[in-house]
Every structure is written in structure tokens, then in C-alpha cells.
Structure 1
């Protein structure tokens, strides 16, 4: 077992006294994330159709993270790991619209708020319900039990919807039913027409303007809904992609996001804070649907860039996503970084950038990647864990191991990602010792995650998770039977 993988994270110096210099500047931070965007859906990753000039300029001014993982192959799990630096399996967020962000978790917002930052979240939430009586998914979502809004999770300002909504005229889409925008805890009624990406940026920019006026460092989390279904582009964007049929809607809503990225950067320049603001961009998982034979006939037109798998898969196309990092004066412009990294790394990295403190009681699965981003370090120290359904996975350097059972290794698959983009060649027999070691690390991670899920790190008397632990390799029918027969009070005791 790699003990450092599961030990509590301790901040180290970046280079000499560099970390002290970073902390003294109190950089502003903006996190942007698209929803269901594929690795191959941007210009900076080689797309020749979809226009993303502002993201491409961001890539030119910072770093393209060529080997970046969402960690979750669906929405909610990625978002949980994004904000906490901890694997979603520790939090009981097994899949989309299940579980919620526990109040006890130590998040980016909580960490930076303690350092004097003002905090804002805009766009999709998907980490619990926003009402105790209403949910986009109905009574099955258990809105009272899973109530976990951003205004109760250390955000000073928020403009959020519980889950996905239409990307154009959102209030007119079927997904808006019981899923309205909440603005600081109150259902929003103004400025809800037109481009959804513009609507949420209309809230994020005033938040930033106020922070600058009050001379406060800020962290803004901007989670776009595009290009998640319901995919619909506005007239001006459809015109850009005439001749592409239904795919024009998909392409257009990505360009709409790109326009808002450009708008944000222009505002930062006008406010005089661009040089002291770090920007991060990624997607929450791979593109929706199967690989289309004819993109002109579908709005599920996302591209994985040739990787195998799509959304809901632990293969690269489901979890390897487009990503950028820009921090003027620190990250070398035009960098292309091939080191594996993930959303798990955001919290410890921002901690180092801001000179913040960490919660020593929390086991982190991510690490501070600042030494990689600024140059000098060429490897990610911790292996990157994944879990979805009855598959668990680990990426370590160029190798990726996928297992289906905790006690049967006969169906394990080991891939050399440096040579096998499509994960079509199982090299387990060539590297048996490597596979054995990685399998042991996966099982150790799952054991550690089970301990976290029970609430062992929260120091809360009588803590009970809202759902039972999902054992690797358990039959679905058995799991469903357990869920039906076990009360909430006894859930933590069920294996």
C-alpha cells in the first residue's frame, strides 16, 4: 500500500520561498466548468469546426492540461470532488442526483472564506436539493434529506439551478419544472431569457465587480450548463453553423460559453485585476450519447478526441476532459502539460496559491499541482482513483488499471495510455507486478473511502450517511434489495 496516497495532505514549499510569495499576493480565482463537453470539443484541442477563440487565447496565455481528468464520469460525483479534493465515493455521491455535499466537508469556499475571500457560485449546482419540498427529480430525490444549497455551504453569493436546464431560454425548457434558478436562496424571476451562459455570467460579473470595489480577494465558481441536454443554441449561434444540421445547436452553445469566457476576461482587464486572477477551465465528464455516425442528425455531437468511451464510462473518453490553467506571471504562456492531473487537485493547489490552511482531519485524494503548472515537476505523486458502478480504476503515470471485483482479478485490465489511446490492448500479462501493486492500491483506497463515508473524519457524534456503502462487485439486485429494506438510521451499518 502506498501510504502517502491515503495520508493527510501537508503543504510543502513550491520552490524555495516561492509559496510565501504566492500567498502574499492573495490571488483572485475563477473556476469555470462546462457540462458534458468532450475532450475534442475545443479549438485548443484540435477541433476545426467549433469556434472557441477565447478559450484558445486562454490556452495561449497559460497552460493546456492534455491529461486532465474529471474523475467522475457523470455530473454530481465530479462536482463533489472538485470542491473538496476528495473522491466522491468518500461523500456518498455515487452518481448524478444521488446523495449531497455533506455540511461537514471542508470545501474550497470554506477554506478561502477563512482567508478573507468573498465566495460566489454561479450556474449548475447538482450537489443536493435547493428546496426541502421540491426537486427536479421529484420525491425520489428526497429533497428534505438531501437539502444542501450553496448559501448553506459557505458561499456569500449564488445563482444556481439544482440540475441541468435548457441552454437557451431556460425557463421554457421541460427541465426547468421544479428546477428554477435560485438567487441567494430566493427563486429568481428577472433576466432569465436568451442564452443561459450569458444569464449566469450576468450574475458572476457583478459579484466580481463588488469584490474589487470592496478590495476583497474573490473566488468565483462558474459552472455552465452547456452543452448538456436540453441543447439549444440561439439564432445568432445557429447562423454560425449553418449546414451542420442538428449539431449546430451543440456547436453553437459551446461558442456561446466561449463568448462569456471572453466577456469575463475583458471585465477582469477593465477592473485592473487580470494579472492577479488565476483562471481554471475544464469539463465535468465526457460527451453524452454514443458516438454519432452522422453528427448533422443529432444534438449529441460531442467529440472525445479519439479516446474510447463517453459519458458514464471510466474509459478515457468518459473522464478525460479539456482543461486549461492560466495565472499571469506564474504559469508559462503556451505551455502544454502531459502529466496526469484531475479536479481532485484543485483544492490543495488553491490552498498553496492562497497560503490557506487545510483541515488536518480530512484525507485528500488530490495534491498540490502548482509545481507542475509553474514548471519543474514532471510527475503527479499520488495515483488518481475512479469508481463508477461495479468498476474501480486507478491512473498512475502512463498506466491505468480497471477492476470489476475486489477478490477476482481475472477480469482486470491494465492499459499503457502512452501507447494505447483507445484502451484496446490489455498489457496486464506484460506488467504483472505493476498490475498487482495498483490493484492493492485500489482496494486500499476503497477501504479508506468506506471509512470516510461512515463519517469517521467528521468528529460528529452519531453521524449517519444518507445511503449505505456500495460494495465493489455487488449484484445490482442485491444492492437494490438492501436499499429498500434498510432504514436511514441503520444505513451506515450495512456493507
Structure 2
């Protein structure tokens, strides 16, 4: 074989080798792409639902025999019922901040409802999952800042410009939200709608706002889910219902269901209307063929409105905290222990009940575990991954659960709950054994001084940590300045109520 023939054979062999490698490379690339798509489709969809002012005892799965909640009850049968679940905040805005971030609301200066806003520097469930390729949406109440730089909802204590904090800042691709509470029927009308419209992706919405508010919301949730399913993209949807917060109005068909219950029929009716939309949501998940790959959570932002449950005929006091003492605005369990459900087909055993103390602080770390997302670095996490508890693999919450409202700071650690009113004065300390005293009537602080001392020290340590965060200690921003000054324990001054003079 001469030189040129040898060279031709060599080139031919080399060309075939290169073509073969290219084909193999393409095959490998295509295989990897297919593998990535499969992995993406296997990522669980996450739906996090929360009612507004729904009491622990306002649902069928917790024993209510009047209010019809068949779809939530079915969720309880198919998943796990959490009987010792905390909202963390006894009012709405604080709970919502902790729900999204896994961090205590005092770290962010959200002392109470309509106060402060979610700092732009905070990480949320949406921003974390967005990095993992998730579509992200928020629907319903926002209440974590203003949605306009020029107006704020009637009754809000927030100044529009300095408290501007829209969902788009926190990782949401889509949002359909109000700044504050609206009527549960015809949400664009009535006193609560003043300066408080629904914003669709930052623009005031004017279409399809008549009728039941839960239905109005779900009309936006379902297209978001349909679009994500069509694109084979995992999604996270945060759905914060307005019901049954004031103004409480039920539609005609729901009022008819509760004839004979006076004004309370409105309260009962709007909860059943909410439940119907949960059923509608689940039906759509099944129609789309993604129900088995979707995890759902449900809870409430605090206990029921109203000072006393003496007259259940009145709409304002129609809610039930079950057997617990206290209601909304109270750090007693009736104000912070709320309905809790979790459902994840194939992962959480159906029809189970768990009494381990847990809270909305646990949502972020748990969702990260479920999706293999990374927890934000350099940030204190007050919650923990509770997936092992939900799966029945452990029966303890490792981290104590902290509370803070006005002049009360609390800690739940196992079966014990400590409430203090001063960092130094121990005279008003109250310790309860929740396993024996669910009404929190028997103060056993004097019987367990060492337990009180230990839990009190943990509360003081938490307050110091929260104060440091509030100053911007974890944001790495020079001269960071929070909107409001830190509120020291014991410094809160309640408003003076006008008392009628005796004639």
C-alpha cells in the first residue's frame, strides 16, 4: 500500500471515528436532556394554603358538627391531621412573614397586623424554589407590605412608600393579591376595598371580581397551575384565602345551607365556600394528572376573631377555638393553635394524626427537603424540617417554638409552654403542661423552677438573636436601617379605650 492509499485509509477511519463520537455524544446529550426532563417532572408540586382567622374548631376534621368542610375532611383522610400546629403569630401579618421565610417575624420588624413589611433582603419559599426551576405564584391576601407606593389600604398603619414590598420582590412569577382583608363576597366592593384593590402582577384588576372571594381567587390559581402542567414545569402556589376574616358575607346558596343560625350563617357559609374551592382545586389536579405528584398543606393564620364565644349567633364571635383558651390576639393556644393538614401521596401515610408541636416556621426547611433545594446560607432558621415527623419516622420537634406578641414572649418545648412578660422580672412567669392542661389554667412555674429557668434563658437568647437580625445583622448591608425601632419586652403600651361615663 503506497503512502497516499495509506493516508486515505487513515482519513477514512478518522472520519468514521469522529462521526461515531459525534453520534455518541449527541445520544448522550439527548439522554441527559431526557433525564433532566424526567427529574424535573418528578419534582413535587407544592401548594400551601392558609385561611384567615379560621379557628382550630371551625372545621369538620377537628370535630365541628355544624360547618361543612367535606373537601378539607377528605384531605385529612388522605393525609395527616396536625392537632398541635401553631400559626406562630396571634394576628395575621406576623404569621405570614414566618410562613414564607421560616424565620420569626420579630426578626423582620413585623410586630403586628398592618405594621412594618417584609424586608427585600429576606429569602422566601418562592425565591428558593425559583432557583430550582419552579414556577411561582401567590394568590389572595398579601399583608406583608403595601402594593403601591402612593396608597395603602384603609385602616393600614403602613406608609405606602417606605413599606412598599410587592410579591415580585420575593421570587414570585405571578401574583393576584390584595394588601389587606377584603369582603368575602364581592371583594372589590365595601369599606375594605378602599385603596385595597386586587393587583394582578402589580396592576389593579377590574375583571371577574363578583361573587364569592374564594372562587375569585381560584379562578386565577387554576390557570397558573394549568400553564405549569402544560410546560411540564414544577410549581409552588401559595394560596392565602380571605375567609373567614371580616367583612364576613356568604353568598345566597351558602346562607341557605345554614338557615336558622342567624348572622353566624355568614361565617359558616364563607368557610364552606372556601372548602368548595379546595375541592375544585383538587379535582383540577386530578384532571391534569398531577395529583399524585403534588403536596398540599393547609392551615390558618391565627385563632378566631371575637373576645368571647358566648353568642355564636353573632357573625363576629361565631368562630371556635375548640377547647383551648384565648382567641385572636392572644398567645394562649386558642389564639395560635390552628387547623393543620399535610398531604403528599406516596410519602405521607393516609389517615394519620400527629400531636407533635409544629408551626408555619417549619414550612420552608421542609419544602427544601422535599425538593432538594438549598436552605439560604448565612441566615438563622427558626423552623426545622418536619418531613420525618410527617412520615412517622420521628415523634419530636427538636427546636423549641418561640412566640412574641406585645408584652408577652413565649416558648413551646415538648409538652411545656412558658409565657413571660419581662426579661428580668419573673413574678408573672407562667408555665403550663399542655399534655394535661390544654386550657392553660394551672400555672406550675413554682413547681418546676429549673424548667422555667432553662426555658426563660432560651427565650432571652432568642430575643437577643431576633434583635440582632432586626438591625440587619444578617443582610451584610452597610448602615442598614429598619423601618421601626425594636420593641423591647414590656415596653408595649396598649391603646386607652374610651369608657362610657356612668349616668
The equivalent of 1:400 in structure 2 is: 417
Once the two structures are superposed, what CA deviation does each residue of 1:326-367 show, in whole Å capped at 9, x if it has no partner?
000000000100000000000000000000011121000000
The equivalent of 1:15 in structure 2 is: none
For the 8 Å contact 1:71–1:78, the answer to whether it is kept is yes
For the 8 Å contact 2:57–2:63, the answer to whether it is kept is yes
The equivalent of 1:145 in structure 2 is: 162
After superposition, where does 1:13-24 map in structure 2 within 5 Å? Answer: none
- Find the aligned partners of 2:204 and 2:148 in 1 and give their Cα distance: 10
Tell me, which stretches of 5 or more residues in structure 1 are unaligned?
1-20, 479-495
The equivalent of 1:48 in structure 2 is: 65
Do structure 1's residue 249 and structure 2's residue 266 form an aligned pair?
A: yes
Do structure 1's residue 209 and structure 2's residue 229 form an aligned pair?
A: no
The equivalent of 1:352 in structure 2 is: 369
- Find the aligned partners of 2:327 and 2:115 in 1 and give their Cα distance: 21
The equivalent of 1:301 in structure 2 is: 318
Once the two structures are superposed, what CA deviation does each residue of 1:65-89 show, in whole Å capped at 9, x if it has no partner?
0000000000000000000000000
After superposition, where does 1:287-366 map in structure 2 within 5 Å? Answer: 287-366=304-383
Once the two structures are superposed, what CA deviation does each residue of 1:362-381 show, in whole Å capped at 9, x if it has no partner?
00000000000011101000
- Find the aligned partners of 1:475 and 1:305 in 2 and give their Cα distance: 29
The equivalent of 1:262 in structure 2 is: 279
Matched residue SS, 1:172: coil
Taking structure 2 as the reference length, the TM-score comes to: 0.89
For the 8 Å contact 1:292–1:298, the answer to whether it is kept is no
- Find the aligned partners of 1:475 and 1:295 in 2 and give their Cα distance: 32
After superposition, where does 1:161-200 map in structure 2 within 5 Å? Answer: 161-200=178-217
- Find the aligned partners of 2:377 and 2:268 in 1 and give their Cα distance: 44
Picking from 46, 49, 55, the partner of 1:29 is: 46
Provide the aligned length of Structure 1 versus Structure 2. 458
- Find the aligned partners of 2:314 and 2:218 in 1 and give their Cα distance: 30
The equivalent of 1:380 in structure 2 is: 397
After superposition, where does 1:406-421 map in structure 2 within 5 Å? Answer: 406-421=423-438
Query: What is the Cα deviation at residue 101 of structure 1?
Result: 0.6
Larger Rg: 2
The equivalent of 1:492 in structure 2 is: none
Taking structure 1 as the reference length, the TM-score comes to: 0.91
Alpha-carbon distance change, 140 to 370 in structure 1, aligned in 2, over 3 angstroms? closer
- Find the aligned partners of 1:107 and 1:148 in 2 and give their Cα distance: 13
Q: CA RMSD in A?
A: 1.5
Alpha-carbon distance change, 475 to 80 in structure 1, aligned in 2, over 3 angstroms? closer
Once the two structures are superposed, what CA deviation does each residue of 1:103-124 show, in whole Å capped at 9, x if it has no partner?
1001101100000000000000
- Find the aligned partners of 1:73 and 1:353 in 2 and give their Cα distance: 28
Matched residue SS, 2:255: helix
- Find the aligned partners of 2:258 and 2:290 in 1 and give their Cα distance: 35
- Find the aligned partners of 1:474 and 1:140 in 2 and give their Cα distance: 19
Alpha-carbon distance change, 343 to 435 in structure 1, aligned in 2, over 3 angstroms? same
For the 8 Å contact 2:41–2:234, the answer to whether it is kept is no
Tell me, which stretches of 5 or more residues in structure 2 are unaligned?
1-37, 496-503
For the 8 Å contact 2:114–2:157, the answer to whether it is kept is no
